[in-house]
Amino acid sequence: MKRQKRDKLTRAHAKGYQAGITGRSKEICPFHAFDARSHWLGGWREATGDRQIGLNTR
């Protein structure tokens, strides 16, 4: 059975979260479209908040 691709905005959020949880800068956002960029940054902000409270993926 084929897997369905996730929504692009959901994927942007997930990629931003991955970047944030690993400590990468928000300046590396690969998206230029406003909607995708805002979702990526939202994921990045959520991850940096999680890092501050001690949630780590290592």
Q: What is the pLDDT of residue 6?
A: 74
Q: How far apart are CA 30 and CA 21, in angstroms?
A: 16
What are the boundaries of each domain within the chain? 8-22+32-52
pLDDT at 14: 95
The answer to whether residues 20 and 51 touch, using CB atoms and an 8 Å cutoff, is yes
The first and second tokens of residue 57, run together, are 């993926």
The runs of H, that is alpha helices, within 1-58 are: 8-21, 34-52
For the stretch 1-58, pLDDT in tens is: 566 677 899 999 999 999 999 999 999 999 999 999 999 999 999 999 998 888 765 5
3-state secondary structure at position 32 = coil
Give the integer Cα–Cα distance in Å for 15 and 17. Answer: 5
pTM metric for this prediction: 0.82
